[in-house]
Amino acid sequence: MSFYVTTPIYYVNGEPHLGHAYSTMAADVLARHHRQRGEDVFFLTGTDEHGEPVELAAAREGISPRELADRNAPKFERMAARVEATNDFFIRTSDPRHMDRVSEVIQRVYDNGHVYEGVYEGWYCPRCADFKTERELGPGNTCPIHEIALEREREENWFFRLSAFEDDLKRLYAERPEFVVPEHRRNEALSFIAHGLQDVSLSRPNLNWGLRLPWDPEQRMYVWFDALLNYYTALSFAREGEDLSERFWPSCFHVLAKDILKFHAVIWPALLLAAGLEPPRGMVIHGYLLMGERKMSKSLGDVIDPGEVIDRFGADALRFYCLREVSFGQDGSVSAAGFETRYETELANDWGNLASRTLAMLARYRGGVVPEAAPDPELASGDDGLEGLEVRVCELIDRAELSGALEAIWSRVRRLNRYVEERSPWVLAKQEGESAGEGDGGGAPGEAGREAQQPGRPRTRSGAGDQLDVVLYNLAEGVRTLALLLVAFMPASSERLLDALGEDSREIAGFGSRGGGAMTERIPPLFPKLD
RNA sequence: GCCGGAGUAGCUCAGCUGGUUAGAGCAGCGGAAUCAUAAUCCGCGUGUCGCAGGUUCGAGUCCUGCCUCCGGCACCA
């Protein structure tokens, strides 16, 4: 089974910010999670480099568009690395291999008769060098930026016959209810389609930094078509000497923000159909991370600087915070104060401390060996029971409900902390020590205790000792299964914890699927408090 | 204007097809415990469930009207 996940390709004319990182982190969670399920995964991110804004920005600096792109693309590549994204490739649309492939595909669209020559007429601003939409116009048909009166201009364009795909799109949406999630975004796309589709410009003359149309080199492709096609073209050259298209298309899932919904949910599938290709398997539309009401702007004070957070707390903490704090698919506020609260209460106190106390008791009471015992039904069942959690989490992640998955996991983190209190292992340990009397009753720490736990040792302990085995086994097993589910979200810390638990596998596993016997070790706090 | 969504504890939000005393997390107050990163666990809320009507034996949950906020309404890289 193959799973191909993409982020949007980021427009190279700008600096990476938390919003970009958010898409990348979410896509990475999906990629890692599906790898854990043993699927054949390919994860793509990259930069979108053509188009007029890049051309203009480069001109302002007196450099070529390519130089501008070459300078900025690495920033996005580094951003992906910083949030510990495991992308298999980083595509740049200025890559000649991408451009060649785009030409092939768009030629097919042309050959299939979905393109025609027409005239685009609109309000043109010579200073912006761009057409303005009716909505953008200032009073009296003026440019909102330059405040000058605009003229009606006509321009030869090639058009893509989007209108011809209305029925196909409606059918696609009807047959695949989860093509676009969350549902409110799906409805938005659907109502957009229902209102009737108009053809869209495919190319323009007078562009310099863009792909030439194969059948009309005077015209350059509108950057959107070039950009969308990256998801498909990358597969043909991402791996040297190999074409992955067969292997990963159309099992493709897009992660994107709501501002580019229409391009992905309407134009993109139509374009693929026009080229005789399958639409992707689906897409998830996420919202914006708001900082103090404003969208991503650097207003005063309480903002999140992703680089700084990663430096101080690690990428795991940033990934967790963003996906936990705002319900994935909706807009939500993030702040430095909010981050600190979640970091301290949930990562350090709830989860990190649960790991610490579990490992500590394992070491202290059982010499670092997970005892042999059965899953405790008390812990396995109930609303926040451990049993079946992995199934639930997989279902949620299949619907791209990442925050929902974290919430499901967290209710079990709390459950395990409660379990510790309910069973008071330290009391059991004391009782065990007392009734064991003379011997090596199990209270002995260090090597002696470890020796005492070798398999085959006669089980002469008291009832308290057996109960302690049960509690410690269940704690170890509970923490282990949660850590496995958290690998996708917080890879570094989860890996460290799993190593400490003597777990080699990274496959998603159910509660109780592993027996006792594993060697564990104490480790420094997963999420240290930094006061 | 048209279409859609939302308005529930100080804060952030859950509440599916109407039915026991409306829930969770955070923050606050009190207590227990000591395995642990002084972490954890337990207890504590007089909430007009936006406003006004209506349907119903019964509505936060359905209907009508109103108020407020938000999103979409075609090229916005």
Output the 3-class SS for A274-328.
Answer: HCCCCCCCEEEEECCEEECCEECCCCCCCCCCHHHHHHHHCHHHHHHHHHHHCCC
**Closest-approach nucleotide to residue A354, Cα vs C1':** B36
Measuring from the CA of residue A198 to each C1' atom, give the nucleotide at the shortest distance: B74
Kindly tell me if the per-residue pLDDT of A295 is higher than 80: no
Q: Is the separation of the CB atoms in A354 and A531 below 8 Å?
A: no
Q: Are A172 and A269 in contact (CB under 8 A)?
A: yes
Tell me the HSE value of A286 on the side-chain side, using a 13 A CA sphere: 28
Give the nucleotide at minimum CA-to-C1' distance from A160: B75
Banded pLDDT at A440 (limits 50, 70, 90)? very low
Q: Is the pLDDT of residue A212 over 60?
A: yes
Q: Is A224 (CB) below 7 Å from strand B?
A: yes
Coil, strand or helix at A98: helix
Q: Which nucleotide is nearest to A193 (CA to C1')?
A: B74
The residues that bridge with A74 in the sheet, in sequence order, are none
Gap from A186 CA to B32 C1', Å: 51
- Sheet containing strand A200-201, strands side by side: A130-132, A115-125, A151-160, A200-201
Distance B35 C1' – A420 CA (angstroms)? 8
Please name the amino acid found at residue A439. Answer: G
CA/C1' separation A348–B28 (Å):
21
Does at least one atom of strand B sit less than 7 Å from the CB of A267? Answer: no
Which of A141-150, A153-162, A230-239, A374-383 bottoms out in mean pLDDT, i.e. has the lowest?
A: A141-150
**pLDDT band at A119; cut points 50, 70, 90:** confident
Q: What average pLDDT does the structure give for chain A?
A: 87
In A12-101, beta strands by DSSP E: 40-48, 89-92
Per-residue pLDDT for A138 more than 70? Answer: no
Q: Tell me, rounded to whole angstroms, the distance of Cα A338 from its chain centroid.
A: 21
List the one residue out of A22, A21, A68, A62 whose CA is nearest residue A49. Answer: A68
Q: Is it the case that residue A208 has pLDDT exceeding 50?
A: yes
The answer to whether residues A514 and A390 touch, using CB atoms and an 8 Å cutoff, is no
Note the pLDDT of residue A393: 92
**Confidence label for A436 from pLDDT (cuts 50, 70 and 90):** low
- From the list A17, A5, A10, A15, the residue with the least C-alpha distance to A83 is A17
What percent of chain A lies above the pLDDT cut of 70? 88
Cα–Cα dist A9/A73, whole Å: 10
- The pLDDT assigned to A149 comes to 74
Asked if strand B contacts A110 at the CB level, meaning under 7 A, the answer is no
In this predicted structure, what is the pLDDT of residue A478? 97
Using one digit for the tens of pLDDT, what is the confidence trace for A18-74?
889 999 999 999 999 999 999 999 999 999 999 888 888 898 889 999 999 999 999
Strand B atom within 7 Å of A383 CB = no
Strand B reaches within 7 A of the A131 CB: yes
CA of A223: nearest nucleotide by C1' is B77
Contact present, A274 and A165 (Cβ < 8 Å): yes
Looking at strand B, which nucleotides approach a protein CB closer than 7 A?
Answer: 3-5, 12-14, 25-27, 33-37, 39-42, 71-77
Q: What mean pLDDT comes out for the span A253-272?
A: 92
Q: How far is the CA of A169 from the C1' of B74 (A)?
A: 16
Q: Please identify residues in chain A, positions 397-426, with a C-beta within 7 angstroms of any atom of strand B.
A: 414, 417-418, 420-421, 424-426
Residues of A 165-204 whose CB lies less than 7 Å from any atom of strand B: 184, 187-188, 191-192, 195-201
| First CA to last CA distance, chain A | 46
Write the pLDDT tens digit of every residue in A232-257.
999 999 999 999 999 999 999 999 98
Q: What tens digit of pLDDT does each residue of A482-529 get?
A: 999 999 999 999 999 999 999 999 999 999 999 999 999 999 999 999
Domain residue limits, chain A: 2-111+223-286, 350-500
Q: Strand B within 7 Å of which CB atoms in A 447-486?
A: none
Distances (CA, A) of A491 to A37, A51, A103, A138, A325: 15, 37, 39, 50, 18
Å from the A374 CA to the B65 C1' = 61
**Strand B close to A149 by CB, under 7 A:** no
pLDDT at site A215: 94
Range A276-282 average pLDDT: 95
Catalytic residue positions of A, numbered: 17, 20, 125, 128, 143, 146, 295, 298
Predicted confidence (pLDDT) at residue A416 exceeds the cutoff of 90: yes
Is the pLDDT at A122 greater than 80? The verdict is no
Rounded to whole angstroms, the Cα distance separating A355 from A143 reads 60
Chain A window 497-526: residues with CB closer than 7 Å to nucleic chain B are 525-526
The nucleotide lying nearest A365 (C-alpha to C1') is B35
Instruction: Put the strands of the sheet holding A332-333 in their side by side order.
Output: A294-295, A289-291, A332-333
Taking the C-alpha atoms of residue A527 and residue A378, their distance in angstroms, rounded to an integer, is 29
Q: Which fold has domain A350-500?
A: Isoleucyl-tRNA Synthetase; Domain 1 (1.10.730)
A134 confidence band (pLDDT: 50, 70, 90): low
Instruction: Specify which residue's alpha carbon is closest to the C1' of nucleotide B26.
Output: A341
C1'-nearest nucleotide to the CA of A200:
B75
For A361, the 3-state DSSP assignment is: helix
Q: Quickly give A425 CA vs B33 C1' distance in Å.
A: 12
A2-111+223-286 has CATH 3.40.50.620 classification: yes
